[in-house]
Amino acid sequence: MDGVVVVFDFDKTIIDVDSDNWVVDGLGATELFDRLLPTMPWNTLIDTVMGELHAQGRTLRDVADVLRAAPIDPHVVAAIRAAHSLGCDLRVLSDANRFFIEAVLDHHGLRGCFSEINTNPSRVDADGRLRIAPHHDFHAGPHGCGLGTCPPNMCKGQVLDRIRASADARKRFIYLGDGRGDYCPSLRLAREDFMMPRKGFPVWDLICENPGLLQAEVHPWSDGKDMQETLLRLISRVLVEESTLLPLDCKLESLPAAVQDGMPMPLGVKN
């Protein structure tokens, strides 16, 4: 089976908050953050705040503890596990950072479901301080995307192009996101792919301005339950469509049991 690549944004898609703001507020650095916000780029700001928190005695464990409490809908957890169990290739494409994302995925037992995390890099220096860097070093030059919705540190469309180039050309993509930065990759999806924008969020508003610009089918979602049902329905559809291209004696062997029985994909924790 050719299969499906599912690309997830992280903030307000996997978790229901912005992870940077969640950590800043949770560790009592909101006033510092607000004061520095007008003076420096976002990645530099988060790195600076992490340095100030370290100087105040905050540890990596403190940061991770706050992240473990970030709200995540159990339907989203179930959707990720179900998609992985069905053989989909899951990727993260996010403007958060690696430490924040991995802390959350590890806590919920999801890190092994993802083959790749594309995000702003992070590292722990010799003093135990968390350092955050931009995915694209905009100080060295622009990333070259002229769309106007991508931040200077990351063009998700360019990252998606790389993912597509490295994958089997027959694979179909499902992209889930909420923010302005998710609009650029939505324009790079093919006719056979699916875009899942979060309804009422910036990427949905941008798509609605001119839906004809997208080649991919658009399937919006509003909450975790909605995401789970929509994502697994699309995966089921791809698997059924692929099965029609197989020789008859291979079809039932290739389809998951839920599809063979005429049922939708497993919904995990759905009541």
Q: pLDDT value at position 266? A: 42
Task: Write the pLDDT tens digit of every residue in 212-243.
Answer: 999 999 999 999 999 999 999 999 999 998 87
Q: Judge contact between 156 and 179, C-beta under 8 A.
A: no
Which of 9, 18, 73, 89 is labelled catalytic?
A: 9
Query: Tokens for 196?
Result: 């899942």
**φ, ψ of residue 59 in degrees (nearest 5):** -110, 170
Distance (Å, whole) CA 247 – CA 15: 41
Residues belonging to the binding site for Mg(2+) are 9, 11, 178
Residues contributing to the annotated binding site for substrate: 20, 95
Produce one character per residue of 140-179: b if its CB has 16 or more CB atoms within 10 Å, e if not.
eeebebeeebbbbbbbbbbbbeebbeebeeebbbbbbbbb
pLDDT at 41: 94
Give the pTM: 0.90
Q: What is the pLDDT of residue 65?
A: 98
- Catalytic pick from 11, 18, 89, 182? 11
Residue 1 pLDDT:
46
Q: Is 226 a catalytic residue?
A: no
Lookup: tokens for 38: 């007008």
Model pLDDT, residue 189: 98
Tell me whether residue 2 is one of the annotated catalytic residues.
Answer: no
Could you list the mean pLDDT of each consecutive 10-residue stretch along the chain, which spans 271 residues?
Answer: 88 98 98 97 96 97 98 98 97 98 98 98 96 93 92 96 92 97 98 97 97 97 98 96 64 49 40 34
Annotated binding site: 9, 11, 20, 95, 178
- Burial status of residue 221 (CB atoms within 10 A of its CB: 0-12, 13-18, 19 or more): buried
Write down all domains in the chain, each with its CATH number in brackets.
Answer: 4-16+72-119+138-245 (3.40.50.1000)
| Cβ atoms of 68 and 103 closer than 8 Å | yes
The DSSP output letter for 88 is -
